[in-house]
Structure 1
Amino acid sequence: MTTANTTAYVPDLRRVGALVDERVRALQGGYLKDLSTAVATLAKLRRGAGKPIEAVPELVGLTLDHRFYEAFPVEDPRTEAAEAAAHEALTLYALHQQSKRERGMHKRGSGLGEAVRRLMPGGDIDEPLRKRFVQAGSAADHATRLDRLRGIVSLLRTQDIPLDYGLLADQLHDARTPAGSARVRRAWGRGFQAHRPERTDDTPPETEPGTPA
């Protein structure tokens, strides 16, 4: 007999996350149907995975369009941070979806903490992976955080574990300030701790060390 983990709560998306969710859904739907435009777009976007937006300016036209700038006017100084967060989430998604033709890797409600915990089957803690996760949450600067997230997304891809890229976009946007970074770190840690993997009756209860706090 197994007991499945259930997660009823799905966080609402803010403006950046809602726009990214819409964009990813369109790309994912096209990719799973093997539409040439979606396949080609994701192949180009993968080149930006883990890189800040200024490092790959040629991708801006692929990640953002007029709908984004209707929500975030060009002249608004806050738009720059929103642009960067959308770019980061979309390029990481492109990496995550690579060669996954049967299943979408974007799934609403699948937060980063839960997704990382699902990489540890049977209730056992993978200490090197846990440390990598902690380091992503506690990165001293955003570029380092982004690079560490790229490594985690690559691991999720190998195990077919999806992620909510709208939520990730909102969190990457929020994480650009010290207070926001702390909120995101706590959210990732809670997701990790709250998730309970499927286990059989003879699997002993797990003991978990600390996570991002």
Structure 2
Amino acid sequence: MSDYSERHYLRTLLTIRRGRISLVDDSGVIQRVQLAPSGLETRDNLPRMSEYGLASNPPGGSDALIANVGGDPSNGAVVGTNHQATRPKNLAAGETQVYNGPAGTSLYLANGEIVLNANGQPVNVSGATIVTITAATEVVMDTPLLKVKGDILDNYETNAVTAKQQRADYDAHGHPVVNVQGGSSTITTGTPTVTE
């Protein structure tokens, strides 16, 4: 085999490789990883390319697929990762899941429902001007305590009186008592003077 053929053969073998990630540096404009493609070799500061709009930091021990441009190991990048121990399994055709394996949290776009699993951790929606929930039948909140920092307005398309105003009206309203009788009589009050 000629030197050219041998070099070409080796470059072809090195075009796609696999390794196991040991360290991740997520501080720069591109993520860089350290991994071992073989027991005798360690690659450091290898760029990891990921899809726009999806950021992740694969935990140590994750599998990595390395693409070396032109078979040149000095010009490679990680183009795929997988963490065997925490990868969600048994998804049906068409389903998608975004997950944090070590934390046990996930957003599961299942066939027929969407499941957000916070696994006992807080869920925060921040920076929104308006959050709109449109549900065809109902919204259920199964919680021992519901806190609202501001006021509450129900039937907002036809009602302009908030829960705070209703409390103020209730505290200020009176009931006229007619046909007052003395002694041990029992009477029923009339309708309130302010209704809401």
How does the TM-score come out when normalised to structure 1?
A: 0.22
Question: Greater relative contact order: 1 or 2 (C-alpha under 8 angstroms, separation 6 or more)?
Answer: 1
How does the TM-score come out when normalised to structure 2?
A: 0.24
Q: Which structure has more strand as a fraction of its residues?
A: 2
Q: Which structure has more helix as a fraction of its residues?
A: 1
Larger radius of gyration: 2
